[in-house]
Amino acid sequence: MNENAVKVTIAGGGASHTPGIIQALLESQAKFPVAEIRLYDIDEQKNDDMYVIIKGMLKAFKLENIKLIQTTDPEEGFKQVDFVFSQIRVGDLAMREKDEKIPLKYGLVGQETCGAGGFAYGLRSIKGLLEIVEYVQEYAPDAWILNYTNPESLIAEAVRRKFPHAKMLNACDMTISIEETICRNFGYDRKNWIAQYYGLNHFGWYTSIYDKSLKREVMPEIIEKLQKQPMKVASFNANDQSWQNAWNMLSENLRLFPDYLPNNYLEYYLFPDVVVKSSDSNYTRANYVLDTRVKENHQLAEELRAGQRADFDFDFGEHGNYIVDMAASILNDSHERFMLILPNTGSISNLRHDAVVEVPAYVGRIGAEPVALKEPINNFHKGLMEAQDAAEKLLVDAYFEHSYQKALQAFTLNLAVPSADKAKQVLDALIVANKNYWPKLH
Ligand code: G6P
Ligand code: MN
C-alpha cells in the first residue's frame, strides 16, 4: 500500500450518488491513492446497500486492498480521516418531495435548491452540515471537507459564520455538467477549455470559454447553436425528461438574453410562471429519483447479496470525478482550476465582499485561491445577484436568530417568490412540514 494513501469518509454514504463518487475514486488511484473508504450515514439500511455495492466495485476493480467501513457512529466515521466528501441530505428524499410539492400548491416554483423549496431545504441542511463540521473538528481537525450538500450558498454562508476557519471547499457539479453536455452534443472537449464564469450557486453566467486546442473563443458559436436548438440530454441522463426540459429552458433564456451562457437553474428565477405551468404537482423530481436511481441501487444491492451479479456498467458523468479531482489537487498541490462557492473577498469588484459567489478558483494544499474577474459585472446580473444574495443572507440570519421576521423577508425577497402574501403562506406551510428539522422561529 502506498504510504501516501489517504482515508476518505463519505458523509451521506447511503446516497444514490455514492457509486459514482467511488467509481471516480477507484479510477483515480494513480493521483489520489486511497487506503480506506468509510461510509457514514444515519440511515443504516441505505448505507448497507452502498456497502454491498462498493464491496462489489472494489472486487471488480481488483482493489480489495482498500479497507471499506460502514458506520452510523460519528467517531468511527471521522476519526483521523484525511478527506470528508459530504453529500448528506437532511430529511432525505421524503422531505425533498415536500420542498417541491408544497410551494406548487401555492402556485410557486417547487424545486429542491431554488425558491421557497430551496430555502426550506436550507433551514434543514445548515444544521446537518454544521454537525458534520463539528465532528470533523473533533475527530479529524486536519481533514479537508469537500462539500456537495445543497443548498450550497446557504451552507457556505452558515459554515463561514460559525466556523470561519473550517477547512472546507463547497463545490457544485452543475457548471461541468453543462460543459460536458455541450461537449457531448457539439463535439468539444472540456479538458481543453478555460471557462470564465461568475454568479451565486445555481445562479450564474459564463462570460467566455476559450478552447486551447482550437486556439479560440468558442462561447459565441455555442450560444448560436443553443439558440437554434436545445441540446439533448447526455447519456448519463438518458431518457430523463426533466433534464431535457432544463436544456430547453436554457435555450429559451438565451433567446431573450443572448450575451452570456446562463446556468440552467436561472429558469426558476427568470421564468417562474413558465416553470410552474409545466410542473406536475403530483409527481415531482423527488418521485422520479425514488423511482429510478434509488430503486435501481437497492435492486443492485439485493442482486449482489444474492450473488447474482458481478459486472458494473456505470456512466455517471463528471459528478464523481469533480470532487475527486479537487481532492487530488489538494493532495498533490497541483493548482487545478475549479468552480467553487466561496466568499467574494474581491473576486467581483463591484459586489459586496461578503457575498457568497461561485467563481473559478485554483485549488492546492492551502485550499482555494479564487480568481479576480478582470472587469466589474454588468447591472443586470449585479441586480439579480444582489437581491438573491441578500435573501440568502436573511435566511441564514433567520436560522441563527430563530427569527420568523427574517425568514419572511428572505422568502419575500427570493426572486422565485412574487409576493409577500404568497411568501407568508408558503413559509407557514413549510414551518409545519419541517417541524422536526427547522429551528423554532418566533
Ligand atoms: C445537479 C446539481 C445538484 C443537484 C442535482 C440534482 O447536479 O448541481 O446540486 O442536487 O443536479 O439531481 P437529481 O438527479 O437528484 O435531481
Ligand atoms: Mn449543484
- 16, amino acid identity: S
- Closest C-alpha residue for ligand 1 atom 6: 112
| pLDDT averaged per 10 residues, the chain (length 442) | 90 96 96 98 98 95 97 98 98 98 98 98 98 98 98 98 98 96 96 98 98 98 98 82 96 98 98 97 97 94 88 78 97 98 97 98 98 98 98 98 98 98 98 98 98
Q: What is the pLDDT of residues 139-197, one digit of tens each?
A: 999 999 999 999 999 999 999 999 999 999 999 999 999 999 999 999 999 999 999 99
**Is the Cβ–Cβ distance between 297 and 53 less than 8 Å?**
yes
What residues act catalytically? Answer: 173, 265
Residue 351 DSSP symbol: S
Give the separation between CA 127 and CA 139, rounded to whole angstroms: 18
| Ligand 1 pocket mutation, candidates 173, 181, 236, 358, criterion most atoms within 8 A of CB | 173
In this structure, the residues whose C-beta lies within 6 A of any atom of ligand 1 are 113, 150, 172-174, 177, 285, 289
pLDDT tens-digit readout, 134-148: 999 999 999 999 999
Among all bound ligands, the one having the nearest atom to the CA of 89 is 1
Residues 6+ apart with CB under 8 A from 285: 96, 100, 111, 112, 242
Point out the ligand nearest to the CA of residue 246. Answer: 1
Length of the chain: 442
Closest to 267 in 3D by CA, of 230, 213, 309: 230
**Strand-pair partners of 85:** 10, 146
Residues 92, 174, 438, 133, Cα dihedral to 10°: 90
CA torsion 217→219→225→227, rounded to 10°?
-150
Best CA proximity match to 197, nearest among 220, 169, 182, 175: 175
